[in-house]
Structure 1
Amino acid sequence: MQVLSTKEAIESRRSIRQFKPEAINDSIIMELLESARLAPSGCNSQPWRFKIVKDKATKEQLQALAYDQKFVSQAPVVLVVCADVQGYIDGRTSGVQDLADIGVFDNRLTTILNETTHKKSALGFNVLSHSVAFNVAIAIEHIVLRALDFGLGTCWMKLMNEQAIQQLFGWDNNIVPVALLPIGYPAEAPAPRKRVPIEDLIIGSI
């Protein structure tokens, strides 16, 4: 394992769409999930959930539900990364209280956050899932960067039929697929993609 600095990982990360057939040790998969577990989230709600898919038949089904992007079934492992919507609400509720107990939030902020959580819970799973997905995205990026320490490549995938994936695994509307994340040892070395100049990213002046 080669441990990269954060800067090195960010600069060397690429979206990988060609994988070697070499299997990934389960201990490495757990290391990747541990990096996700440690990600920050709103009020420490921790709404990310993961389905680990390694068998060929299920990967082929996911490929079909990802508009036949063939590298899905070629990857040794595919993570179906999901948002637990009810878990987000429950986690925010307990997280706000935890932060209040240690003095991070005063009574005013605690009241505001509790009221916000209550309003969010009334939105319904379909609407709320988009808000929860922002938290899940942070956990995904932790996996993407940590994977480089093990010589692994990944590819964020959002183009998929979320409802059909829910049905495939028998999940209710509480578990919402956010992304597919194929993981494997790269069989390609893509060049860096074009990036917008940093000057164009800054609104106004420094």
Structure 2
Amino acid sequence: MSFKLLSTKEAIESRRSIRAFKPDTISDEIIMELLESARLAPSGCNSQPWRFKIVKDTEIKAKLQNIAFNQKFVSQAPVVLVVCADIQGYLDGRTSGIQDLGKVGVFNESICEILHKATKKKSQIAIETLRQSVAFNVAIAIEHIVLRALDFGLGTCWVRLMNEKEIRTLFGWNDNTYPVALIPIGYPKENPSSRKRKPIKDFILD
């Protein structure tokens, strides 16, 4: 497997949302490399709540296109990752993560107790409310994927315009699994220019 490693700066500067893909297949080895980059992402108390459904089947991709309000590039990509947050996995992961961080001395006993209480409180929150707070952890893993994809000459696109309930129905998932985004992946058939960005000064608060 040959590829060109980019610097972090190069990857950030060259990343584009790709919505036109070549039909070329992507090897399982490369897909696993992308998921490995996600596996190494940071998360709150090392909860690691991300879950991935790898979709290559043409019929399933067509259904995902429909669920994504007929965005045609979704079905045209050789691979679509359905990236989800595992709500219970997040809560369980926080508990074990707090214990691990306490053992290695990152947190003292009082901070561990505060975090344990916060996790217990979170577990009593309705899933619908908890989903959004879990999703930001998953977003970090997604960004790892889209940047790592550039090393293999691949293009990606974050797709949030979708019907989450229909995705759960399609795959038979319960409410504990929260679809965060669809990530179509493939070799780009377009080379879009960088979109206009605001200057840094606009983002700095007084």
Normalized against structure 1, the TM-score is what?
A: 0.98
Q: Which runs of 5+ in 1 are unaligned?
A: none
RMSD: 0.4
CA distance in 1: counterparts of 2:129 and 2:182, whole angstroms: 20
CA distance in 2: counterparts of 1:102 and 1:116, whole angstroms: 20
| 1:62 counterpart = 2:64 | yes
Runs of 4+ aligned structure 1 residues displaced above 3 Å come to: none
CA offset digits 1:5-62 (Å, max 9, x no partner): 0000000000000000000001000000000000000000000000000011000000
Q: Give 1:143's match in structure 2, choosing from 137, 142, 145.
A: 145
Q: Which runs of 5+ in 2 are unaligned?
A: none
Give the corresponding residue for 1:3.
5
Q: Give 2:172's match in structure 1, choosing from 170, 173, 176.
A: 170
Give the corresponding residue for 1:155.
157
CA distance in 1: counterparts of 2:187 and 2:80, whole angstroms: 13
CA distance in 2: counterparts of 1:9 and 1:52, whole angstroms: 23
Give the corresponding residue for 1:50.
52
CA distance in 2: counterparts of 1:198 and 1:17, whole angstroms: 28
Percent of aligned positions with the same letter in both sequences?
70
Give the corresponding residue for 2:107.
105
Give the corresponding residue for 2:83.
81
Number of residue pairs matched? 204
Give the corresponding residue for 1:26.
28
CA offset digits 1:126-182 (Å, max 9, x no partner): 111111000000000000000000000000010000000000000001111000000
CA distance in 1: counterparts of 2:71 and 2:179, whole angstroms: 17
| 1:130 counterpart = 2:132 | yes
